[in-house]
A and B are shown apart, each in its own frame.
Chain A
Amino acid sequence: MTPVRHMLGTIGRAAFLALVLGFFALPLLWLASAPFDAHPSITASVPEFTLANFRALLDNPYALGSLRNSLIQACGSAALVVTLAALAAYALSRARVPGRDALLYVLLLLSSVVTGTAAMVPLFELATRLNLIDTHLGVVLTLSGGLLPAAIFILKDFMDATPTSYEESARVFGASPGQVLRHVVIPLVRPGLATIAVWAVAGVWGSFLQPFILLRDPDKAPGAVILYTLYTEGGAPRLDVISAFSLLYSLPVVVMYVFVSRRYGFRFHGGIKR
């Protein structure tokens, strides 16, 4: 009896896992096969190999440019978020600020509102008055504003975990605050900074609504927005171009993730056991 039940349990578990795995793997399988299929559909199938889809994509005047725009907006936001969040997190971690925790939680709460759909109208109004409509800067500032609170929150934890004796030691040797930050603090929290950078790039890369609303000129639109325009005049999705573009669109993020995880990873060059 028991072996049978055991076997049934194993089969059940395996079947369940296969189902879950299939659920997540099939879209990826589609992403791998459809771009090379002569007649892509919305199902994953063994492709009838061709590179025609990519050729068709190159004919689209905005496709490759949009990836460059994505890159500009993502890297710009990541640079801004990492710089500002690092400075803010360091200050919040080291200085005595009354009501610091409440401030952080309120910021975190508001961040989902700032870039959220609800604030889109005032944001658009604000961008118009500041002449930021149809500029990369407008998109970068808006998206950074949304990412910053969470970034500060996460980085503050990293900063809190770094003993102050490192900084004090540098200070006693005569290092200026800027030198302390450059020589000691930033190298120590580098894994945290890398995490935030990757997270910001990935977040901006996938953003659709903000660039869609803030940018008029398709020459400045990022990949996510251009993907939305790949339809025929009749309104039917052009699966050949969409699939090829999807693959190109997702590659940079994957490459970046692999690179950063190799390069920085989550290790701390520990000194002493604490």
Chain B
Amino acid sequence: MIALRGLTKEFPGGVRAVDSLDLEIGDGEFFALLGPSGCGKTTLLRTIAGLETPTSGRIEIGGVDVTGTPPGRRDVAMVFQDYALFPHMDVTANIAYPLRIRKVPRAGREAKAAETASRLSLSELLDRRPGQLSGGQQQRVALARAVACHPKAFLFDEPLSNLDARLRLEARTFLKRLQRELAVTTVFVTHDQSEALALADRIAVMSAGRITQLGTPSEVFRRPATTFVASFIGSTPMNLLPGVAKDGVLRVAGAEFPLPDGAPEGEVLYGLRPEYADLTTREPGEKGAFPGKVAVVENLGTAHLVTLECTDHLLQVVVPEGAEPPPGTAAWAVPRPGRALLYRDDTLVGGA
């Protein structure tokens, strides 16, 4: 288990990369630190690894306070964004390097390297230098090197960002399976929300050195706690439209909805994912639909992203293959019940 208590990292010049952060990561959990660049996620990971010294606060790994412990004695393995494979050593020597530091005899560490390599299907490549490997192979060697030293926790810094798009999906599946098999607590940093959603058991969405939301991928996706998380999570950004709630009625961009019980009145932001609305070209009888004109149609492969020009606002809807209206037609977007969210002062206040 990794526990962070009141962790703060302030760089010279007064930049607070991590701001009094509390977090507990369970045994065997696959945990994602997600956020835009500059949010402090990499600094947090490096602080856990011991490469940065926290300004204040404590770090515990496996119940032991390691705040003042140098990186090598924390029993964690880190995979860097550029993999940091030693270019002057072959694959065997790279994988065996942690064991060399622990003074394991040569025969023992080479056997261990060969065993780990075969587990990650690298047996053919043991004599190669990192420069002779593809990006995906390099990533697997870096993982093998981390696996070979049997740490209490893995720390991955942007593990997939150096791979090309197609390989990334393959590597993602591989990574998830490996983590399941090893069942070692793993913390990884990513700026890619789809990576975090796909891999992690739990996600911490970070912004300006703080955790904005902590939850399972589906919690974070379905009920983003703030408008920042709402716009950050999801491959197509959430529609956020200003609206007014008054006398039990919510008025947003030409549509009217009954205000759910307990929702506050006044000005609100109405959030709706493009995937959670249906588009129709026949005028619905009720008022709970956004009237508009189709402005742009973008092909997403199995679906189309339709941008609807409503009264004063743009609304995006994902439409299944073959059902997309041509640009210029009048259309109505009907939100699916219970999927819309209401925000006030950037904070989630209820559903609609």
Contact = CB atoms under 8 A, between A and B. Distances in A.
Interface of A: 163, 165-166, 168-176, 179, 183-184, 187-188, 190, 268-272, 274
B72 A272 contact: no
Given A174-B98, A174-B101, A169 B78 contact: yes
B72 A171 contact: yes
Given A165-B80, A174-B102, A175-B72, A271 B85 contact: yes
Contacts of A179: 101
A270 B101 contact: no
Contacts of A165: 80-82, 84
A271 B131 contact: yes
Interface string B64-86: 00000011111011101111111
Closest 6 CB pairs of A and B: A174-B72, A169-B84, A269-B87, A165-B84, A173-B98, A187-B88
B266 to A, nearest CB: 50
Contacts of A274: 82
Contacts of B81: 165
Given A271-B85, A272-B135, A172 B76 contact: yes
A172 B82 contact: no
B316 interface: no
Nearest to B97: A173
Interface in B30-83: 49-51, 70-74, 76-78, 80-83
Given A187-B88, A270-B87, A271-B87, 13 more contacts: A168-B80, A169-B80, A172-B51, A172-B76, A173-B72, A173-B98, A174-B98, A174-B102, A188-B87, A271-B84, A271-B130, A271-B131, A272-B135
Contacts of A175: 72, 101
Contacts of B155: 172
With most chain B CB atoms within 10 A of its CB, the pick from A163, A179, A269 is A269
B162 interface: yes
Nearest to A171: B71
State the main secondary structure of chain A at its contact with B.
Answer: helix
B138 interface: yes
Contacts of A169: 78, 80, 84, 86
B71 A172 contact: yes
A272 B82 contact: yes
Interface residues of B, number: 34
A171 to B, nearest CB: 5
Nearest to A96: B12
B129 interface: yes
B149 interface: yes
B196 to A, nearest CB: 22
A244 B49 CA distance: 63
A272 B162 contact: yes
Contact of A272 (B129, B138, B149): B138
Contact of A269 (B49, B78, B88): B88
A184 B162 CA distance: 22
Contact of B129 (A170, A183, A188, A269): A269
Contacts of B49: 172
Given A171-B51, A175-B101, A271 B77 contact: no
Nearest to B50: A172
21 contacts: A165-B84, A168-B51, A168-B80, A169-B78, A170-B86, A170-B101, A171-B71, A172-B155, A173-B98, A174-B71, A175-B101, A179-B101, A183-B97, A183-B100, A188-B88, A269-B87, A269-B131, A270-B131, A271-B82, A271-B131, A272-B130
Interface in B283-305: none
A128 to B, nearest CB: 46
Given A268-B87, A269-B129, A272-B135, A170 B82 contact: no
A170 B97 contact: yes
Contacts of A171: 51, 70-72
A272 B88 contact: no
Interface string B131-159: 10001001000000100010000010000
Contacts of A188: 87-88
A269 B88 CA distance: 6
A243 to B, nearest CB: 44
B45 to A, nearest CB: 11
Contacts of B100: 183
A80 to B, nearest CB: 25
Contacts of B130: 269, 271-272
Contacts of B78: 168-169, 172
A170 B86 CA distance: 9
A268 to B, nearest CB: 7
A165 B49 CA distance: 13
A175 B162 CA distance: 26
A173 B82 contact: no
A183 B94 CA distance: 11
A187 B49 CA distance: 25
With most chain A CB atoms within 10 A of its CB, the pick from B51, B70, B129, B155 is B51
